[in-house]
Amino acid sequence: MIIIDGKKVSAEVKEQVAKETKELIKKGVTPGLAVILVGDDPASKVYVNNKKKACELVGFKSYEYKLPAETTQEELLSLVEELNNRKEINGILCQLPLPKGLDENAVIEAISPEKDVDAFHKQNVGRIMIGDYDFLPCTPAGIMEMLKAYDISVEGKDCVVIGRSNIVGKPMSMLLLHQNGTVTICHSRTKNLKEVTKRADILVAAVGIPKFVTADMVKDGAVVIDVGMDRDENGKLCGDVDFENVKDKCSYITPVPGGVGPMTIATLMKNTLKAAKLQNNL
């Protein structure tokens, strides 16, 4: 069993981004990423901080907009509009979830598709569907990068994704399909879930339930990718997979923390760099 080291792979990705950023800066372009944080969700604060650190590391300028929880929809949309029009800002992301009363979809749709480095805009989602895209959603793309780094081929494999969110589950299944995997998407209404997951050569867990995937759901020698960021009964960070009991059945497994998480931010850096190049015709 090999533990997939997301920290190591993400460091390699960021190193490459930093190298290309140096070249861009020589041409007079410094990639800029704007992050909007509404309210004071503690988890979101941590993510925003990590994004800021990553920007510094690769040489981007980061712009942070912290808005109070009582911000109105109009105020939020007018900020997005202002950022869309600023040339020095190449990527815009709004940290989700938003406080109650704000319409996430309207905010995502307001971000210019060229600056949508999260790849959540309908236009970018549609382009992923047909396989002609500029940006990929950060978590699924980060997972594909990890599989590549460990020479894990997707072609012809039975791939099972548990979870059907627009952020992870659906795009994840598309990317596996683009690499010629045979994909099944499972969710809370799936009958005989265990039978389905036991077929998987590559199992991706993205349900948001601590230790949901147990050893009896995993085929011997499977590759298990854990997207969850949960807390167990003792408040300790854990994933959607019962790591201790599952790991001995796997050929490869990602840990939590230190697996998928770091890859998400590394991919965000990659997307922002690409956005800067595209917007400056480089």
Residues near 157 by Cβ (< 8 Å), separated by ≥ 6?
A: 181, 182, 201, 202
Residue 129: name the closest of 171, 158, 93, 181 by CA. 171
- Give the span between the Cα atoms of 192 and 213, in whole angstroms: 14
- Active-site residue (options: 14, 51, 170, 270): 51
- N-terminal to C-terminal alpha carbon distance within the chain: 43
Residues near 101 by Cβ (< 8 Å), separated by ≥ 6?
A: 73
Q: Is 40 a catalytic residue?
A: no
Query: Which helix (H) or strand (E) segment is 95 a member of?
Result: none
Contact (CB, 8 A) for 162 and 213: yes
3-class DSSP state for residue 202?
Answer: strand
Query: How many CA atoms, within 13 angstroms, populate the side-chain half-sphere of residue 23?
Result: 11
- Active-site residue (options: 14, 95, 226, 270): 95
Q: Is 73 a catalytic residue?
A: no
- Active-site residue (options: 14, 115, 116, 118): 118
Q: Is 95 a catalytic residue?
A: yes
Residues near 223 by Cβ (< 8 Å), separated by ≥ 6?
A: 147, 152, 201, 202, 203, 250, 251, 252, 253
Residue 116: name the closest of 278, 271, 265 by CA. 271
Question: Hey, which residues does 135 pair with through a beta bridge?
Answer: none
Query: How many CA atoms, within 13 angstroms, populate the side-chain half-sphere of residue 81?
Result: 7
Which of the residues are catalytic?
A: 51, 95, 118
